[in-house]
Structure 1
Amino acid sequence: MSETALPVRLDRKSELPLAVQLADALRDAAATGHLRGGDRLPSTRALAERLGVSRTVTSAAYEQLHAEGWIAGRHGSGTYVTTSPPGSRSVSGAVPGEVRDRTDLLDLTPGVPWADGLDRAAWRRAWRAAGDPMPAYREHRAGLPDYRAAVTEHLLRHRGLATHAVLSTGGTTAAVFELAGAVLSRDDVVAIEEPGYQRAVQTFRRAGLRVVGVPVDGEGLRPDAIPQGVRAVYCSPAHQYPMGSRMSASRRVELVDRARTDGILLIEDDYDGELRFDVAPLPLLAALAPDVVAHLGTTSKILTPTLGAGWMVAPPPVAAAVLEYRERTGTRPSPAGQRIVVELARHGDLGRHLRKLRRELSERRTMLSAALSAAGIPLLGDDAGAHLVVPFDSAETERARLAEAERAGIRLDGLARHFAGTPTVHGVAIGYAGCSREALASALPTLVGLLGKRPVG
């Protein structure tokens, strides 16, 4: 830390000795994080000159802090701040309203990726290489060219989508926010799966749009239930979230026909489309109807949500509107996460990780479904993704099982929270990617015992 950054102000009119004031100021700076362990302090002579005091004052302050354990001298190097000594006041740093994860629970909720499966050497190599380029002097509103090229190759290899019109995004929710602001108008009606992705629901609503729910079944969203007058339809046809069904080929054709007839924008959320284990996935809606589909993808489920890296493939007028919106609002996705993806793709690490991820999650799903099926517990969802659903007969049973699981040290996800309206189906969604395989195997007896209990009521 530079000397000019030292947060020290001395009051010469105070009855408190200057040495005490200086020690208090430096102690507070270390306790609040303005000074950190390892920061080098100026010499007593240099600090005295800067503050306009005698060296006796700075020497006395340093001696006091050294005795208390706040600072330490290194022979021939100088004086450094240590870590806060035992018993010193801690600084929380918590933001009001911040929800902290409970580390005492085994997290079996969906949406958590298998981040521990990333090759650490490849991860470190990608971060180092991502830091090599000098800072850009201008923004890339559409995304870094290398990132867009990497996503283009990824979509062709892993999703069968041939395109060169890729826009980078900050992730699925960020892309929904941009579509709501750039393409849709206030009071437009958006149809969304019910149950469905509630962050999308809230994003549309915060943008002033009206949201209507459309029921889903074993073949995905029901196009026949989409009301008249909707401006857009948001859906997850490859692996419906949270129920896990796949939209049938006939429904995809029906949905596209409806979109073209009524001028509807289809927003395709392909949040984990790379993760199929049984058969090859059906063609993307964007491949079937690129003129009416905005396709959204993300690295959140295949790598980590901390990268904030996603993509959009949209009809030219929609893509142009999104770019104009970014120009008008001064927004654009952060390039940092994009650079990491570029480096992982450049060396083949992304492809290797995907192959490893599919094998691991397929084996975990087999282990979980076999244990539940052997106990006669029904399951819902295709052999894909990183979660499955156990249905219940009532809301009371769902609430009871969630509470019992938490008391047993397991966090599950109830279906009720995935409804924008009144829940019509009940159960729990079980994610199997966020923990270790050993932890999942250890939890299976408890999980089977809980979910196999008689219904409540």
Structure 2
Amino acid sequence: MESRVNSDPWTVVAERLGTDLYLDLQPDPTETARGRGARRRQSLASALREAIDDGRLPPGTRVPPYRSLAADTGLARGTVAAVYQELVAEGWLVARQGSGTRVADTAQRTTAPRLTPASSSVRSAPRHDFSLGQPNPSLFPRRDWIAATRRAVTAAPDDAFGPGDPHGHPALRTSLAAYLSRARGVRTTPDQIVVTTSVKSALELLSRTVFDTTIAVESHGLPFHRQAVERGGTAAVPIPIDGGGAVVDALPHSVSAVLLTPSHQYPTGIALSPTRRTAVIEWARTSGRLIVEDDYDGELRYDREPVGALQALGPDAVIYTGSVSKSLSPAVRIAWLVLPPPMVDTVVQAKGIREPDASVVDQLILADLIDTGAYDRHIRRSRQFYRRRRDVLTARLARTGVDVPGIAAGLHAVIPVPADIEPLIAAEAARRDIALVGLSGFRHPDVPQESGGIVVGFGTPSASSFTTDVDALLDLLADYLPNRRLRAE
């Protein structure tokens, strides 16, 4: 090895061994050639001192080997070596045998550190965090993800790292088709699946391609549902919900489609009744309309077997969408559409000739997690974790006389409160640094407020703070609900 290195041109060796370091060494265009070498040496020394002084090269940072820096800057190797020796003598750098040249731990700044201005968009985490729409980050299967990454990247052919297919990588679509069929009862083939980054982006895509001018949405639902379809140019009109889910008999004649969360209505937690499931499929088929099913929290059911996907009753009339934002993490940007076959080409063409967002590497990793069973194991572990949390919360509330409906699945609970009390609790929660949301935040603007509620995400708090967080929540409710037993808990 040594003889081969010595026989290589030194610039080739420098490129192989070096690291990148930006230094502004542009020559003065007005200077003469005489003395230019000395000035460039001084310029390099000054640039290195400045990079250390302003924090771009913190203490302990390894600087490039002198041969590498010489090749990058076009200076002679002797010039760069001399500059390094000069900075070592001054105490800016230290050189140790076998560990290269590094910025000295004792290098002193001569100027005040630059302060990063505070940004109003960055806020600290709440003291008691019952935020919605996210799983507990401690559950992310890091070890399985790392192992799947190694396997997927090793086995992937070279062309997998080229431009992504807007349809989604075939490996993930094949894995998803098998998983959704087995776990959710979805009737599909890989060709019917189109990969996206989120349910929101999927709805925007549908609004631009297959929806007509108006779609029906649940009177209380995920705000981004309505916002996504309206951003795509489709108007969203509300239909009521009750103890049986969406009231499908109230669907207006003017709509071309309806967007539902039938397995676990968000935020009430109610599953669409079997009678209404059959009725809405019949409504779509007889009138040539569409049903869009967001399988929100469908995998996270606790008290009994999961409610199957509505799509299984009418794959020709239902567009099914889901994501891994709750099962894995919102940081993994993978979602999907399962489309009736006639719509697939239209949707894929609307995405463009290349996948604009969804990481192909992440798609391969998710496919591996599904194929090896790691994804199923993670879902089952997560179910047990969230079920224990749900049981603690509901038991604490039940002892105070508060019943929590619609909590057989998902990551949140709706605590009923009088409509006129809801904004007072929400305001006081903000003052006490408790993150929660009032039920009115999910109400369609055209729907009058008839009942109130406080929506809390019981999956979000950390393990170390969960008991304290629940205590804080009960103390808050005790000040506003008539049942004073809350304070005793």
Q: Same fold (TM over 0.5)?
A: yes
Contact 2:292 2:321 in 1 (8 A): yes
TM-score where L is the length of structure 2: 0.80
Is residue 219 from structure 1 mapped to residue 244 from structure 2 by the alignment?
A: yes
CA distance in 1, matches of 2:115, 2:168: 38
CA distance in 1, matches of 2:91, 2:237: 63
Contact 1:369 1:379 in 2 (8 A): yes
Q: What is the match of residue 298 of structure 2?
A: 273
Residue of structure 2 aligned with 1:399, choices 402, 405, 423: 423
**Bigger Cα displacement from structure 2, 26-35 vs 298-307:** 26-35
**Residues 330-369 of structure 1 aligned to structure 2 (within 5 Å):** 331=356, 333-369=358-394
Contact 2:416 2:452 in 1 (8 A): yes
Q: What is the match of residue 426 of structure 1?
A: 452
Residue of structure 2 aligned with 1:122, choices 116, 139, 144: 144
Contact 2:285 2:317 in 1 (8 A): yes
Contact 1:189 1:232 in 2 (8 A): yes
Q: What is the match of residue 441 of structure 1?
A: 467
**Deviation string, structure 1 residues 387-443 (Cα, Å, up to 9, x no partner):** 110122125x22322233344342112223223405624321111112234422222
CA distance in 1, matches of 2:256, 2:59: 53
Residue of structure 2 aligned with 1:303, choices 306, 323, 328: 328
**Residues 190-339 of structure 1 aligned to structure 2 (within 5 Å):** 190-327=215-352, 331=356, 333-339=358-364
Contact 2:415 2:455 in 1 (8 A): yes
Give the partner amino acid of 2:479: K
Is residue 103 from structure 1 mapped to residue 128 from structure 2 by the alignment?
A: no
CA distance in 2, matches of 1:174, 1:20: 54
**Bigger Cα displacement from structure 2, 209-218 vs 131-140:** 131-140
Give the partner amino acid of 1:8: D
Q: What is the match of residue 487 of structure 2?
A: none
CA distance in 1, matches of 2:72, 2:245: 74
Partner SS, residue 430 of structure 1 = strand
Give the partner amino acid of 1:446: A
Contact 1:18 1:57 in 2 (8 A): no
Q: What is the match of residue 178 of structure 1?
A: 205
CA distance in 1, matches of 2:180, 2:205: 21
CA distance in 2, matches of 1:230, 1:27: 68
Q: What is the match of residue 435 of structure 2?
A: 411
1:4 Cα offset (Å):
7.2
CA distance in 2, matches of 1:84, 1:146: 53
**Deviation string, structure 1 residues 192-244 (Cα, Å, up to 9, x no partner):** 11221111221212212212122222222111222221122111111111121
Is residue 89 from structure 1 mapped to residue 110 from structure 2 by the alignment?
A: no
**Deviation string, structure 1 residues 21-60 (Cα, Å, up to 9, x no partner):** 5456446657586999745324289539935589678855
Query: Structure 1 residues 53 and 267, CA, compared in 2 at 3 Å: closer, same or farther?
Result: same
CA distance in 2, matches of 1:54, 1:303: 51
CA distance in 2, matches of 1:352, 1:416: 36
Query: Structure 1 residues 332 and 404, CA, compared in 2 at 3 Å: closer, same or farther?
Result: closer
Query: Structure 1 residues 34 and 212, CA, compared in 2 at 3 Å: closer, same or farther?
Result: farther
Partner SS, residue 303 of structure 2 = coil
Q: What is the match of residue 4 of structure 2?
A: none
1:18 Cα offset (Å):
6.0
Q: What is the match of residue 40 of structure 1?
A: 63
Partner SS, residue 212 of structure 1 = strand
Residue of structure 2 aligned with 1:8, choices 19, 24, 32: 24
Give the partner amino acid of 1:336: V
**Bigger Cα displacement from structure 2, 127-136 vs 441-450:** 127-136
1:153 Cα offset (Å):
2.3
Unaligned runs of 5+ in 1: none
Query: Structure 1 residues 266 and 67, CA, compared in 2 at 3 Å: closer, same or farther?
Result: farther
Partner SS, residue 158 of structure 1 = helix
Query: Structure 1 residues 56 and 143, CA, compared in 2 at 3 Å: closer, same or farther?
Result: closer
**Residues 137-156 of structure 1 aligned to structure 2 (within 5 Å):** 137=162, 139-156=164-181
Partner SS, residue 40 of structure 1 = coil
Query: Structure 1 residues 6 and 313, CA, compared in 2 at 3 Å: closer, same or farther?
Result: same
Contact 1:231 1:264 in 2 (8 A): yes
**Deviation string, structure 1 residues 78-116 (Cα, Å, up to 9, x no partner):** 33457997976357599x87x335234232122111331
**Bigger Cα displacement from structure 2, 127-136 vs 359-368:** 127-136
CA distance in 2, matches of 1:307, 1:247: 29
Query: Structure 1 residues 113 and 2, CA, compared in 2 at 3 Å: closer, same or farther?
Result: same
Contact 2:195 2:337 in 1 (8 A): yes
Give the partner amino acid of 2:195: S
Query: Structure 1 residues 340 and 293, CA, compared in 2 at 3 Å: closer, same or farther?
Result: same
Contact 1:8 1:26 in 2 (8 A): no
Give the partner amino acid of 1:139: G
How many residues are matched?
449
**Bigger Cα displacement from structure 2, 355-364 vs 213-222:** 213-222
CA distance in 1, matches of 2:291, 2:214: 13
Give percent identity, aligned residues only. Answer: 30
Contact 1:114 1:302 in 2 (8 A): no
Query: Structure 1 residues 89 and 347, CA, compared in 2 at 3 Å: closer, same or farther?
Result: farther
Query: Structure 1 residues 104 and 49, CA, compared in 2 at 3 Å: closer, same or farther?
Result: closer
**Bigger Cα displacement from structure 2, 83-92 vs 324-333:** 83-92
Give the partner amino acid of 1:6: Y
Contact 2:67 2:77 in 1 (8 A): no
**Bigger Cα displacement from structure 2, 45-54 vs 239-248:** 45-54
CA distance in 1, matches of 2:22, 2:293: 52
Residue of structure 1 aligned with 2:196, choices 159, 166, 169: 169
Larger radius of gyration: 2
CA distance in 1, matches of 2:59, 2:481: 55
